[in-house]
Amino acid sequence: YLDQILQSKDTVTVSQIAADYGLSAVRLNKILKDEKVQYKVNQQWLLYVKHQNKGYTKSQTVDVTHADGSRSIKMNTRWTQKGRLFIHDMLTKRGIIPEMDKIRKRFT
């Protein structure tokens, strides 16, 4: 099962990962910053060298149309399944567990 997840080419946003833990995207990004995983440049979160080239993230180019009709390009960082597992391990070490696991513990 884990191998299948890691082989997936799908990526997720930090908001999607944060929701799994009952966190906001802002809070999870701050944790990742505090843990020296990422830093922000021109409105995009980038990984520190230590975590680059490990297949944790992919950049996505987004064409944005503003209210005044002008357009701009924005780069978004999306997390791979491997990156999602990395975040899971890091949060677990901090005592932060997924909401689903909290629910399971209540019923066992």
For residue range 54-64, list pLDDT tens digits in order.
999 999 999 99
What are the strands of the beta sheet with 11-12, ordered from one edge? Answer: 11-12, 71-80, 57-65
In a domain, 71, yes or no: yes
In a domain, 8, yes or no: yes
In a domain, 106, yes or no: no
Report d(CA 41, CA 38) in Å as an integer.
10
- Domain interval for residue 49: 2-100
pTM beyond cutoff 0.75:
yes
Contact 55, 49 (CB under 8 A): no
In a domain, 46, yes or no: yes
Pairing of strands 57-65, 71-80: antiparallel
In a domain, 107, yes or no: no
Q: Which two tokens stand for residue 67?
A: 């209210």
Res. 27: pLDDT tops 70: yes
79 CB-near residues (< 8 Å, 6+ apart): 11, 12, 13, 14, 17, 56, 57, 87
In a domain, 70, yes or no: yes
| Number of domains making up the chain | 1
In a domain, 105, yes or no: no
In a domain, 58, yes or no: yes
